[in-house]
Amino acid sequence: MHGIEMSYLNYFDADAAWSVAREFAEAGKHAAVVVKHANPCGLAVREHQIDAWEAARAGDPVSAFGGIVAFSERMNSDTADKMRGLLLDVVIAPNYDDEALAILRTRRRTRVLKVAADDPPRLEVRSVSGGALVQEPDNLDGDEFQDFRVVTERAPTDEEEIDLWFAWRACRFVKSNAIVLAKDRALVGMGAGQPNRVTSVNLSARVAGDEAVGAVMASDAFFPFPDAVEFAAEVGVKAVVQPGGSVNDESVIDAANELGIAMVFTGRRHFYH
């Protein structure tokens, strides 16, 4: 609808951003997501779109510069006006108010995309030497949290349950080894694509800063050792969701119990590559 020509990576990142926004679309709510290099670095769900945008940007305000932004609902002028002054490569929404579009068209380089509401793809295809890999997407059922298993002495509170489900859903869009810290239905820290899980925990905590206190943590695959959970407790994390399945699950659970952390096992992993 506006802006300079889309590049290969613009399409790739825009698709990643819209996939997250679509996942978190919810009746009566607004989801906003900021993506860099196909990883969501900001994400929030709020009653008002402008609040969702501000919370998503706050998740990593440094990385939001030059980012790709997607909204689950029609963009209004208040949100578009609030975005002034921040360089953005792509903005995506199902539609735009006339005044919002007029504001966005004052940007010289930002690509403004209108995307049709759609369902997630039924298959994912990845090229490899000599052929292609085809798999079903890693989709989640809305009732799946009811099947999660509490493995610690302390069960999550009602508020923690909401954030754990939010974090687990967000974590599937982050490249492995993936760690997500979330609080109040907003991403406050993220560690992606690291060769070991402890580094991802450190990165997510560094981004979150003081917001890590009282947050929950999601891990896309099991913790092989207690060290990641121990570090998460040091920065203030109160609850953890992870697949389980390590030979050291018992020692990880013991560490969580000693630290007063609630932990749930999902029985499945994301492991996005």
Q: What is the mean pLDDT of residues 26-33?
A: 94
CA atoms of 26 and 40, how far apart (whole Å): 18
pLDDT tens by residue, 135-156: 998 888 766 677 889 999 999 9
**Length of the chain in residues, anyone?**
273
The string of DSSP letters for 241-267 reads: EE----TTHHHHHHHHHHHT-EEEE-S
pLDDT given at position 40: 96
Listed in sequence order, the residues at least 6 apart from 123 whose beta carbon sits closer than 8 Å to its beta carbon are 134, 135, 136, 137
pTM of the model as a whole: 0.93
Q: What percentage of the chain reaches a pLDDT higher than 90?
A: 87
Q: What is the 3-state secondary structure (H, E, C) of 73-89?
A: CCECHHHHHHCCCCCEE
Taking Cα atoms as reference points, which of 32, 143, 153 lies closest to residue 92?
A: 32
Phi, then psi, of 252 in degrees rounded to 5 = -65, -45
pLDDT band of residue 271 (cuts 50, 70, 90) is: confident
pLDDT given at position 27: 86
Going 20 to 12 to 74 to 63, the CA torsion angle's sign is positive
- Residue 162 structure tokens: 């909401």
pLDDT given at position 140: 80
pLDDT band of residue 259 (cuts 50, 70, 90) is: very high
Listed in sequence order, the residues at least 6 apart from 254 whose beta carbon sits closer than 8 Å to its beta carbon are 226
pLDDT tens by residue, 164-184: 999 999 999 999 999 999 999
For residue 117, pLDDT beyond 80 = no
Q: Taking every pair of C-alpha atoms in the chain, what is the biggest distance, in angstroms? A: 57
